[in-house]
A and B are shown apart, each in its own frame.
Chain A
Amino acid sequence: MITTEDLTKRYKSHLAVESLNLHVRPGEIYGFLGPNGAGKTTTIHMLLNLTQPTSGRIMLFGEPLAPGDFHFKCAIGVVAEEPFESSQMTGWEMVRFFAGLYGVDAPTRRMEELFRRLDLWDVRHGLARDYSRGMRQKLSIIRALVHEPKLLILDEPVSGLDPHGIRQVRELIHDYHQRGGTVFISSHILSEIERSADRIGILHQGRLLVEDTLVGLRGRLTQNQKCIIELESVPDGLLARLKSASYVLDLSQEGRQINATLCAQPDARSRLSRLIAEAGGVILKMQSEEMSLEEAFVTITSQNVVQLAGVA
């Protein structure tokens, strides 16, 4: 559905996206993760021909994307934060206007369904600029779905939504996916991606660090273990010895409890136990936890970028 080959975007001295190779398959939900400023929005702009790549190639629906192409947008719905300040349109009129741009002949039934589904039916004749942020976000989703696109690109889709709204949108996306639609979600809210994405790409400083299924990614990243060790007492010099150990990635102390993140070595736990014993410590309790995607993401992007890039 979407393929990019060595996609690069450079703004003068700033490299926004570097040699990006994305592969979004038809019918899947692709989570495009990355911290703010990673290059996610720039990538989306390039996919939509809103900005031209410095180098590289984009294939959409199996066809190469050329500068000036705009036909392909008939089959794409895009959700992004929208400004409505200068518009005189009501929510209903705005969606109808976009339905017209997409060439939807009789959008009323579809619009009514979407407005009701997202609880905007009663305010459909209100000025869009008077909507709350959450209502605007819902309106943006309706606008993106009104023409029943083949590909849905979502840029921070749940931003500004309350929990109920988040659930409504999630269900809507789920239904859309169930009907065979392809979803490309760009977000920095990992829990959202974790819940729905089939495959995930992690972008950091313009580079794609990882691209894998959620299971595969978790498999690769959660080999790191979070270990909680409760000691009778913490001997002097233990922390220094633990920190110097190559299999300990992170370490913190809360009273008699030590929290350690261990790298993906099979004997890391036993080596840790041995080291504590050698230092004179008595282990009362030792508990291991799998890392969440968020914890893995933070670990990847904030500490081990270079290392994980190699892994990816």
Chain B
Amino acid sequence: MSNVQPMTLPDRAWLRAPAWALRGRVMRQVAAQELRDALLSWPWYVAAAVGLLLAVLLIYNSLNFIATSKLLIMSRPFYLPLLTIATLAMLYVIAWSILAIARPRDQGALRVLFFAPVDPAGLLGGHLLAGIAIYGLMLVLTTPLLVVLALLTNLPFPPLLLVGAAITPVFALVAVALGLFISSIASTSRSAMFVFIAVVLLVVGVQGGYRALLSVPPTSTYYDALLFLRTLLRAINAGLDWVSPIALLSGGLDAALRASWSDLLLRAGAALVGGGVWLWLAIWGLGRRGVLP
């Protein structure tokens, strides 16, 4: 500072720098920072531990059953334990992404971040990468422990399940992008959580409503009137299989176990498209809602 030199006016090179280059830089920085933040706090480790605990309980229950019943036909060994862990990991990243934008915006930290050359696309892209990495690392930590569990108990761990686990971050993309969209449009972090709960209730409501409508007898006065609604709910239900990250996850693991690569690719493609749409909506939503509290 003591070496005072006159500054020249800013050159205009940065004005011509491509937006994607700046965004790429922001995405890398934000992703690395968010990943660090997640790995330096307890919830990530607790989620992994709870997932493994449930997996251990499932396996131990099977071992107990074999001891008493002498025979167990285990369908897709470790599918359910892995699905449990992956689902928990996905719920963790959904919760994380729902607060990722809304909470710092509430606190005013998002405003400060935007003092730097950051735009919604770069920021949300960074969060998306971070969310996938947070999810992926949880599987990287837990899956080898499942293999250890398999070795300890002499249960087979299907290699195809590893392929399935490796592809599941693609399905996490949908979860993170959906969470970011909710976070971007919500007025506060609390309302973001409410929106998420409302979405979950809506999905449960559609499924429950469909089941309820199935039980309406053909002789009912309302049968014909409800037929359209039933068809609609059935279509929505079928559509949810291709939209819901949890449904995509279980379907993807199932396809991997069946070595049905076309099915797996189809689901991965649906996840990429779904994730892209949610991300685009999130960018649009953040642009609309803004970064100020």
Contacts and interface: CB of A to CB of B under 8 A. Distances in A.
Direct contact of A and B (CB under 8 A): yes
Interface of A: 26-27, 45, 48, 50-51, 61, 63, 68, 70-78, 80, 82-89, 97-98, 100-103, 113, 117, 144, 150-151, 172, 175, 178-181
B74 interface: no
Given A51-B292, A70-B119, A85-B107, A179 B4 contact: yes
B15 A86 contact: no
Given A72-B117, A178-B4, 20 more contacts: A48-B115, A50-B114, A51-B290, A51-B292, A61-B10, A61-B15, A63-B12, A68-B287, A71-B14, A71-B15, A72-B15, A75-B14, A78-B115, A82-B109, A83-B112, A86-B104, A100-B25, A101-B25, A101-B118, A113-B1
A26 B117 CA distance: 21
B190 interface: no
6 contacts: A68-B287, A70-B117, A72-B117, A80-B115, A88-B41, A150-B7
Contacts of B244: none
B15 A63 contact: yes
B7 A181 contact: yes
Contacts of A80: 111-112, 115
Interface string B142-157: 0000000000000000
Contacts of B114: 48, 50, 70
B117 A86 contact: no
A234 to B, nearest CB: 54
Interface string B13-57: 011010100100110110001001100110000000000000000
B124 to A, nearest CB: 14
Nearest to B116: A101
B264 interface: no
Contacts of B40: 88
Given A150-B7, A175-B1, A89 B108 contact: no
B109 A83 contact: yes
Given A61-B12, A97-B29, A180 B7 contact: yes
A78 B25 CA distance: 20
B10 A150 contact: yes
Contacts of A179: 4-7
A160 B50 CA distance: 44
Nearest to B119: A70
A48 B292 CA distance: 12
A50 B291 contact: yes
A83 B10 CA distance: 30
A89 B15 contact: no
B8 interface: yes
B9 interface: yes
Nearest to B113: A101
B134 to A, nearest CB: 13
A225 to B, nearest CB: 40
A117 B1 CA distance: 9
B103 interface: yes
A70 B115 contact: no
A228 B25 CA distance: 63
* Best-buried of B1, B29, B115, B290 by chain A (most CB within 10 Å): B115
A172 B2 CA distance: 10
A88 B22 contact: no
* 6 tightest A-B CB contacts, nearest first: A180-B7, A78-B115, A150-B10, A101-B116, A73-B117, A100-B29
A87 B37 CA distance: 7
Given A75-B10, A179-B6, A88 B15 contact: no
A73 B10 contact: no
A59 to B, nearest CB: 13
Contacts of A86: 103-104, 107, 109
B16 to A, nearest CB: 8
A82 B108 CA distance: 7
A35 B279 CA distance: 41
A200 B237 CA distance: 64
